[in-house]
Amino acid sequence: MKPVQRDRVDVAGGSLELWQGDITQFGPEIEAIANAANSSLLGGGGVDGAIHRAAGPALLTECRSLGGCPTGEARITGAGRLPQRHVIHCVGPVYSQRNPAESARLLASTYRAALRLARDHGLNSLAFPAISTGVYGYPLDEAARVALSTLAEHLATGRPPRRLLLVLYDDAALRAHQEALTQLVEERSLRR
Ligand code: ADP
């Protein structure tokens, strides 16, 4: 499904947007998409599989040369056949019920690593999937709070990228992120 915009807030002149659909279906107006990868960077299921299928074999060839990526970090490549300039491969944590604080620290670190790479490569727009909320088992409402507050904190610095999209695949993920956005808007007095 081609992504549809569902919600948006303004943070310090930047845009934090919730979309629903398939992250591989954006056009070149979105300069980069983030991938929820595993630490081998050699492809997997879920959104990773969809991105590699859409990008074609050149993406995997490039990923092979990177030698993996630790949890909480990210790596940048070209985008193969996708119309974006780059794919940013993010390795989020497998959720730990015994240590949710450490999971939150690693998830926020993953988003921040991707934002740093985007800025260093002169990108102004970046679309993220809901990292770690699939096979990695992160509860949607907790992941949504971490993702949205980390992205809002970035926008509040005034630095690029200034247009950040979270692309939710199903209704449950969209609902969780809309609720987290409502909470964030109230806490930080943002304009919706
Ligand atoms: P992880 O291993 O980080 O949990 P997954 O790919 O299993 O990664 O899931 C991450 C999120 O991406 C899940 O919420 C899943 O529903 C979603 N997802 C799966 N395919 C797509 C897609 N094509 N576009 C956007 N999101 C997707």
Query: Is there a domain that residue 88 lies in?
Result: yes
> Is residue 3 situated within a structural domain?
no
Q: Give 189 Cα–ligand 1 centroid separation in angstroms.
A: 30
Give dist(CA 155, CA 66) in Å, integer: 29
User: Would 37 be classed as within a structural domain?
Assistant: yes
Rounded Cα–Cα distance for residues 63 and 99 (Å): 30
- 21 inside domain: yes
The CATH number assigned to the domain holding 99 equals 3.40.220.10
Residue 189 lies in a domain: no
In a domain, 85, yes or no: yes
pLDDT in tens, 110-135: 999 999 999 999 999 999 999 999 99
Q: What's the 134 CA to ligand 1 centre distance in angstroms? A: 5
DSSP state string for 104-149:
HHHHHHHHHHHHHHHHHTT--EEEEE-TTSSTT---HHHHHHHHHH
Each residue's pLDDT tens digit, 155-164:
999 999 999 9
Ligand 1 atom nearest to CA at 23: 24
Q: Which of 48, 120, 170, 171 is catalytic?
A: 48
Which region among 11-25, 93-107, 110-124, 178-192 has the lowest average model confidence (pLDDT)?
Answer: 178-192
Distance CA 192, CA 185 (A): 7
191 within a domain of the structure (yes/no): no
Reply yes or no on whether 48 is catalytic: yes
Closest listed residue to residue 115, CA positions, set 176, 158, 82: 158
Q: How many domains does the chain have?
A: 1
The rounded Å distance from CA 131 to ligand 1 centre is: 7
Q: Is residue 36 in contact with ligand 1, taking CB distance under 6 Å?
A: yes
The mean pLDDT value for 13-26 works out to: 98
| Residue numbers of the domain that contains 47 | 15-173
Give domain status of residue 75, yes or no: yes
Is any atom of ligand 1 closer than 6 Å to the C-beta of 43? no
What is the distance, to the nearest Å, from the Cα of residue 37 to the centroid of all Cα atoms in its chain? Answer: 11
